[in-house]
């Protein structure tokens, strides 16, 4: 709602500073048509001032036009129509015609019927306009804060083309894109909030203070960390010179008609006057200036919240006394704030309010500030619902990519696109690992990093743990089994990404590894005197009688010196150790002969825990460690 219109109740007019006709800027996003071929192109559309535009993101959808309720002024329920997209289907962007009812009602009806966005086709040939909220007199529309789908106004020409294509049975698919709707040049976002200290103007004032309360936490933290720079602003009007000495001007203005605000109750005879609002607004600017001067600009948020709670107009506490208490409780320098406010009765400019009036006139692409409240992010006016997560999403889109603070990826502003069908991304339900990441830019399918282990893959159909530590997570997606007190794994904890069955098993390594029956497969233990016994993951080989099995030769040898079974196995171990240590075949051969020497054997035996090793001689064939 435009303040200028609102002031019509007054007998005379207060004027917005500077311009006779305010220059309002239509904020836009782009709409790319991907089918049909005849319409393929990028078009501009205007962001509606309600719902939640997906600043920084984009959305793909199929356009549908409801012939029966083309203007969407009636609930689609009456027609038994639903635009809910089916699983795996694209969301529906409902095309509706302008006219007959509020834009917001069209959006609300579309949203209730399951549409993901609403495209309003203009009904006249003109430049794109911003679809706004109904004025205060229609604030009975309780659904307004509940509109969450984005809305865009498209030109009459594009609307006609869409309808033609649809009536020819063509599929119209489009991509709504808000990625360039806000400049995002660097790692810090500058934003302004144009508001008023007036806390008695119905839903409009309530929604402003609600927003300040909800946004305060994140605003303060991000300001302290240097991610954002915030400046509050206040609109003032001026009284035409001919009326500066009139009773009305005196009650609504300070500094001899230079700075005015409309009467809060729109009734000059009772309650607070416009003048009181101007002074409180000026005090809020000064609180910010003084707080900023002492390096704590974020105290403005505390002051404004506390002031609205402690000094409401309703309780007749909208006074300097009450304001001063709040200022002192925040540890701010009252003297400096009073100096900043100056004398409201002098016939001179107030430098602070003069600067506010100058700022009202938009620079460059910003446009004039004519709506209260107005949020300006990186010099562009924000369009959409004044709601913490919607605004945060827009602010996040104002950071150069990859410089966004962590809060931009928090649950607060996620799109919940991962909840349905895992956003179409890869996931491993068993290990509770997903590639779907919810961000303010919409969902992305990206192989995750879980507990320091990086997953690699396309993010859509496959992701696989890689690098060291990968076997820690769901065994790297590989086969693993424990049986007979032993555990075998097909995951190799190295740079490889593959699963490989351990020796003694065969299979794909991912889902199955089967024990190889080495005895049946005649892989070893084949000498005439050998006795082969398959075990899980391995096999045992022994020799008949007193013979000693030499594994590396797969043979049984005479063992005159052996005094018992444990001695033979001690030998095997010695041989294995020796061969590993020396490595050379010749040396190895030499060692066999040498070790046959019973004297040495006896000496070696003193150093080795022979009995333990003997219990499970075949373990040496496969490492389970
Ligand atoms: C809007 O949402 C609020 C809270 O979710 C709910 O209580 C209210 O009934 C909704 N209003 C409408 C008109 O749907
Ligand atoms: C706030 O302080 C910073 C430096 O401390 C200064 O650059 C900035 O202009 C100040 N902002 C206002 C609105 O006074
Ligand atoms: C899966 O992980 C998420 C967070 O990583 C956790 O919130 C959720 O409870 C886990 N689910 C299961 C079934 O373990």
Question: Using a 6 Å cutoff on CB, does residue 292 contact ligand 2?
Answer: yes
Alpha carbon 192 to chain centroid, angstroms: 23
Question: Using a 6 Å cutoff on CB, does residue 139 contact ligand 2?
Answer: no
Burial 378-402 (b: 16+ CB within 10 A, else e): bbbbbbbbbbbbbbbbbbbbbbeee
Q: Whose CA is nearest to atom 11 of ligand 1?
A: 143
Cβ partners under 8 Å of residue 509, min gap 6: 478, 479, 490, 498, 499, 500, 501
Question: Using a 6 Å cutoff on CB, does residue 142 contact ligand 1?
Answer: yes
Residue 261's nearest CA partner among 372, 349, 368 is 372
For residues 441 and 454, give the distance between their C-alpha atoms in angstroms, rounded to a whole number: 23
Task: Catalogue all structural domains in the chain, each as residue range(s) with its CATH number.
Answer: 2-20+184-409 (3.40.30.10), 28-177 (3.50.30.30), 415-514 (no CATH)
Question: Using a 6 Å cutoff on CB, does residue 146 contact ligand 1?
Answer: yes
Span from the CA of 78 to the centroid of ligand 1 (angstroms): 20
Q: Is 380 helix (H, G, I), strand (E, B) or coil?
A: strand
By the 8 A CB rule, do 405 and 227 touch?
Answer: yes
Span from the CA of 232 to the centroid of ligand 2 (angstroms): 12
What's the start-to-end Cα distance of the chain, in Å? 73
Residue with structure tokens 């790319």?
Answer: 32
Closest atom of ligand 2 relative to the 297 alpha carbon? 1
Residue 355's nearest CA partner among 236, 197, 256, 193 is 236
Alpha carbon 350 to chain centroid, angstroms: 43
Q: What is the pLDDT of residue 475?
A: 82
By the 8 A CB rule, do 255 and 349 touch?
Answer: yes
Q: Whose CA is nearest to atom 12 of ligand 1?
A: 143
Task: Quote the tokens at residue 327.
Answer: 């200022």
Share the mean pLDDT of the chain: 80
Ligand showing the shortest atom-to-Cα distance for residue 294: 2
For residues 258 and 551, give the distance between their C-alpha atoms in angstroms, rounded to a whole number: 104
Question: Using a 6 Å cutoff on CB, does residue 175 contact ligand 2?
Answer: no
Q: Whose CA is nearest to atom 14 of ligand 2?
A: 289
Q: Whose CA is nearest to atom 2 of ligand 1?
A: 146
For residues 519 and 535, give the distance between their C-alpha atoms in angstroms, rounded to a whole number: 10
Q: What is the pLDDT of residue 96?
A: 96
For residues 282 and 349, give the distance between their C-alpha atoms in angstroms, rounded to a whole number: 13
Q: How far is CA 492 from CA 470, 472, 537, in A?
A: 8, 11, 17
Q: Whose CA is nearest to atom 6 of ligand 1?
A: 146
What angle, 0 to 180 degrees and rounded to 10, lies between the N-to-C axes of helices 203-224 and 388-396? 40
Residues of the chain with pLDDT under 70: 1-24, 87-89, 135-141, 362-367, 370, 411-416, 439-442, 495-496, 559-625
DSSP secondary structure string for all residues of 292-351: HHTT-TTHHHHHHHHHHHHS-GGGT--SHHHHHHHHHHTT--HHHHHHHH--TTSSS--H
Residue-wise pLDDT tens digits, 456-466: 888 878 888 88
Span from the CA of 200 to the centroid of ligand 2 (angstroms): 31
Q: How far is CA 384 from CA 23, 140, 158, in A?
A: 19, 19, 23
Span from the CA of 110 to the centroid of ligand 1 (angstroms): 16
By the 8 A CB rule, do 190 and 379 touch?
Answer: yes
Span from the CA of 304 to the centroid of ligand 2 (angstroms): 19
**What pTM did the predictor assign?**
0.63
Q: What is the pLDDT of residue 158?
A: 96
Span from the CA of 295 to the centroid of ligand 2 (angstroms): 9
User: What values do phi and psi take at 116, rounded to 5?
Assistant: -95, -20
Ligand showing the shortest atom-to-Cα distance for residue 473: 3
Span from the CA of 417 to the centroid of ligand 3 (angstroms): 17
Closest atom of ligand 1 relative to the 143 alpha carbon? 13
Q: Whose CA is nearest to atom 12 of ligand 2?
A: 289
Q: What is the pLDDT of residue 106?
A: 94
Q: What is the pLDDT of residue 243?
A: 81
Q: How far is CA 450 from CA 405, 432, 494, in A?
A: 20, 10, 17
Question: Using a 6 Å cutoff on CB, does residue 320 contact ligand 2?
Answer: no
Question: Using a 6 Å cutoff on CB, does residue 355 contact ligand 2?
Answer: no
Q: Whose CA is nearest to atom 1 of ligand 1?
A: 146
Residue-wise pLDDT tens digits, 523-557: 778 888 888 888 888 888 888 888 888 877 788 88
Span from the CA of 442 to the centroid of ligand 3 (angstroms): 21
Q: Whose CA is nearest to atom 10 of ligand 2?
A: 292
Ligand showing the shortest atom-to-Cα distance for residue 411: 3
Q: What is the pLDDT of residue 572?
A: 67
Ligand showing the shortest atom-to-Cα distance for residue 141: 1
Question: Using a 6 Å cutoff on CB, does residue 229 contact ligand 2?
Answer: no
By the 8 A CB rule, do 530 and 543 touch?
Answer: yes
DSSP state of 97: E
Q: What is the pLDDT of residue 623?
A: 23
Q: How far is CA 150 from CA 53, 58, 115, 387, 392, in A?
A: 5, 11, 10, 14, 15
Neighbours of 310 (CB within 10 A): 14
Q: How far is CA 607 from CA 526, 540, 559, 574, 583, in A?
A: 32, 25, 21, 11, 22
Residue 575's nearest CA partner among 545, 595, 555 is 595
Span from the CA of 203 to the centroid of ligand 1 (angstroms): 15
Q: Whose CA is nearest to atom 8 of ligand 2?
A: 292
For residues 182 and 171, give the distance between their C-alpha atoms in angstroms, rounded to a whole number: 30
Span from the CA of 436 to the centroid of ligand 3 (angstroms): 13
By the 8 A CB rule, do 260 and 30 touch?
Answer: no
Q: What is the pLDDT of residue 354?
A: 92
Q: What is the pLDDT of residue 576?
A: 64
Closest atom of ligand 1 relative to the 142 alpha carbon? 13
Element of type H or E holding 450:
strand 449-450
For residues 522 and 503, give the distance between their C-alpha atoms in angstroms, rounded to a whole number: 15
DSSP β-ladder status, 151-154 and 117-121: parallel
Residue with structure tokens 């992305």?
Answer: 444
Question: DSSP strand E in 109-166: where?
Answer: 117-121, 151-154
Q: Whose CA is nearest to atom 3 of ligand 2?
A: 292
Ligand showing the shortest atom-to-Cα distance for residue 288: 2
Q: Is 370 helix (H, G, I), strand (E, B) or coil?
A: coil
Question: Using a 6 Å cutoff on CB, does residue 289 contact ligand 2?
Answer: yes
Residue 193's nearest CA partner among 23, 381, 326 is 381
Span from the CA of 417 to the centroid of ligand 1 (angstroms): 22
User: What values do phi and psi take at 491, rounded to 5?
Assistant: -95, 130
User: What values do phi and psi take at 79, rounded to 5?
Assistant: -100, 0
Ligand showing the shortest atom-to-Cα distance for residue 287: 2
Ligand showing the shortest atom-to-Cα distance for residue 427: 3
For residues 85 and 263, give the distance between their C-alpha atoms in angstroms, rounded to a whole number: 49
Neighbours of 94 (CB within 10 A): 28
Q: What is the pLDDT of residue 456?
A: 85
Ligand 2 binding pocket mutation candidate from 229, 292, 358 (most atoms within 8 A of CB)? 292
Ligand 1 binding pocket mutation candidate from 51, 75, 105, 146 (most atoms within 8 A of CB)? 146
Closest atom of ligand 1 relative to the 145 alpha carbon? 1
Closest atom of ligand 2 relative to the 295 alpha carbon? 5
**Sign of dihedral through CA atoms 317, 270, 2, 147?**
positive
Torsion of CA 558, 562, 564, 569, to 10 degrees: -80
Q: What is the pLDDT of residue 18?
A: 43
DSSP state of 524: S
């Amino acid at each position: 709602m435009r303040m200028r219109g609102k002031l019509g109740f007054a007998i005379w007019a207060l004027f917005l500073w500077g311009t006779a006709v305010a220059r309002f800027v239509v904020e836009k996003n782009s709409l790319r048509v991907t089918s049909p071929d005849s319409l393929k192109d990028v078009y501009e559309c205007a962001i509606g001032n309600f719902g939640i535009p997906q600043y920084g993101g984009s959305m793909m959808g199929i356009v549908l036009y409801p012939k029966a309720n083309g203007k969407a002024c009636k609930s689609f329920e009456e027609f038994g129509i639903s635009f809910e997209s089916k699983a795996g289907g694209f969301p529906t962007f409902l095309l509706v015609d302008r006219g007959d009812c509020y834009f917001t009602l069209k959006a609300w009806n579309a949203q209730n019927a399951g549409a993901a966005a609403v495209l309003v086709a203009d009904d006249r040939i003109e430049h794109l306009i911003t679809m706004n909220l109904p004025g205060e007199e229609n604030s009975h529309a309780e659904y307004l804060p509940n509109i969450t789908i984005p809305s865009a106004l498209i030109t009459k020409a594009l609307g006609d083309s869409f309808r033609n294509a649809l009536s020819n049975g063509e599929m119209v698919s489009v991509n709504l894109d808000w990625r360039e709707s806000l400049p995002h040049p660097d790692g810090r976002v500058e934003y302004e909030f144009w508001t008023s200290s007036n806390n008695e103007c119905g839903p409009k004032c309530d929604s402003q203070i609600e927003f300040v309360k909800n946004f305060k936490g994140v605003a303060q933290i991000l300001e302290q960390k240097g991610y954002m720079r915030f400046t509050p602003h206040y609109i003032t009007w001026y009284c035409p010179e001919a009326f500066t000495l009139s009773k009305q001007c005196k009650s609504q203005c300070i500094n001899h008609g230079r700075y005015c605000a409309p009467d809060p109750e729109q009734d000059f005879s009772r309650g607070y006057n416009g003048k009181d609002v101007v002074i409180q607004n000026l005090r809020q600017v000064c609180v910010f200036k003084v707080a900023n001067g002492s390096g704590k600009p974020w105290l403005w948020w505390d002051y404004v919240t506390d002031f609205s709670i402690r000094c409401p107009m309703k309780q007749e506490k909208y006074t300097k006394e009450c304001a001063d208490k709040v200022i002192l409780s925040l540890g701010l320098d009252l003297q400096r704030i009073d100096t900043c406010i100056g004398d409201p009765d002098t016939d001179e400019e107030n430098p602070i309010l003069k600067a506010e009036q100058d700022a009202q006139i938009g620079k460059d692409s910003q446009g004039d500030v004519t709506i209260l409240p107005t949020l300006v992010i990186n010099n562009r006016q924000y369009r959409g619902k004044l709601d913490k997560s919607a605004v945060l999403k827009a602010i996040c889109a104002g950071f150069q990519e990859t410089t966004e603070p962590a809060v931009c990826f928090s649950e607060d502003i996620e799109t919940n696109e991962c909840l349905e069908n895992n956003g179409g991304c890869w996931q491993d339900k068993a290990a509770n690992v997903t590639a779907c990441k919810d961000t303010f830019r919409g969902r992305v399918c990206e192989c995750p990093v879980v507990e320091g282990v990086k997953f690699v893959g396309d993010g859509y159909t496959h992701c696989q743990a890689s690098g060291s530590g990968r076997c820690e997570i769901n065994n790297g997606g590989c086969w693993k089994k424990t049986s007979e007190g032993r555990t075998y794994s097909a995951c190799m904890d190295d740079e490889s990404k593959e699963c490989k069955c351990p020796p003694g098993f065969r299979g794909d390594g991912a889902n199955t590894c089967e024990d190889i029956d080495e005895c049946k497969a005649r892989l070893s233990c084949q000498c005439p005197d050998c006795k082969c016994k398959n075990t899980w993951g391995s096999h045992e080989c022994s020799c008949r009688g007193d013979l000693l099995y030499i594994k590396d030769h797969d043979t049984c040898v005479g063992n005159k010196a052996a005094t018992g079974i444990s001695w033979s196995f001690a030998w095997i171990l010695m041989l294995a150790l020796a061969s590993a240590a020396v490595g050379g075949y010749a040396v190895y051969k030499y060692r066999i002969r040498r070790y046959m020497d019973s004297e040495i054997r006896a000496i070696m035996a003193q150093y080795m825990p022979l009995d333990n090793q003997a219990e499970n001689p075949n373990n040496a064939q496969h490492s389970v460690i």
